[in-house]
Chains A and B, each alone.
Chain A
């Protein structure tokens, strides 16, 4: 069965304290791995797509990496405005484009 698991479920950081979020996946064939940010009461906002092991992408304080079994979202020197739920999702080679999401990691950054 295709599965996506994110850890930790919740993470509290002090402003400036760097950390990483994990997304582990077990799938039949990976077309792409996606990271989204979701603020309370809002829809998910696209951050990154990664397609092959070894690929890395960066945006401001965020950097996403991909291996054959997992992806990491590294947050460098976070600010309170980085507080949100971060969702990881996979798209399979065998399907029509639907995303299979993990349950998310809720990040709180305290000033």
Chain B
């Protein structure tokens, strides 16, 4: 596609439920990043994929968060037993650089609301 696509745009879920957020990166981009952005704050790093493997997952807040990229393109961020504090905009970015995040392109984000 022309840009990074994230679905859904908005997701409202009840506390304790499981959610999946999807990211379709720009075709051919090997690097994929997930960030989380709370209101009035800058994005906070969650996880980085280079191809199919998670090269850096140091930003995942706890074991309720998990992400996969099985074929090196589409990625899914999975959140188990959601809590109200998980409410935020989840951003995905992709880049065609193997080592440097130059000109990473961001999607529009998924706004997650846990009620």
**B-contacting residues of A (Cβ < 8 Å)?**
4, 6, 31-32, 34, 36, 41-46, 49, 87, 89, 91, 95-104
Q: Please, how many angstroms separate the alpha-carbon atoms of A96 and B53 in the complex?
A: 13
Contact B101 A99, beta carbon cutoff 8 Å: yes
Q: Which residues from B are CB-within-8-Å of A41? A: 108
Contact A43 B31, beta carbon cutoff 8 Å: no
Q: Please, how many angstroms separate the alpha-carbon atoms of A101 and B4 in the complex?
A: 20
Using known A-B contacts A32-B102, A43-B108, determine if residue A104 contacts B48 with beta carbons closer than 8 Å: no
Q: Which residues from B are CB-within-8-Å of A45? A: 106
Contact A44 B33, beta carbon cutoff 8 Å: no
Known: A43-B4, A98-B48. 8 other contacts (CB 8 A): A42-B108, A45-B106, A89-B43, A96-B48, A96-B55, A97-B31, A99-B104, A102-B42
Q: Please, how many angstroms separate the alpha-carbon atoms of A36 and B43 in the complex?
A: 11
Number of CB contacts from chain A to chain B under 8 A: 74
Main SS at interface, chain A:
strand
Nearest-neighbor residue (CB-CB) of A101 within chain B: B42
Contact B106 A43, beta carbon cutoff 8 Å: yes
Closest 4 CB pairs of A and B: A101-B42, A43-B106, A96-B56, A98-B45
Contact-residue size bin, chain B (C-beta under 8 Å from the other chain): 20 to 34
Nearest-neighbor residue (CB-CB) of B104 within chain A: A46
Contact A95 B106, beta carbon cutoff 8 Å: no
Report 13 cross-chain contacts, Cβ distance below 8 Å, ordered by A residue. Answer: A32-B101, A32-B102, A34-B101, A36-B106, A42-B109, A46-B104, A46-B105, A87-B43, A97-B55, A98-B45, A99-B33, A99-B35, A103-B42
| Contact indicator per residue, chain B 87-115, by CB within 8 Å of chain A (1) or not (0) | 00001010101011111111111000000
Contact B40 A103, beta carbon cutoff 8 Å: yes
Q: Please, how many angstroms separate the alpha-carbon atoms of A4 and B42 in the complex?
A: 10
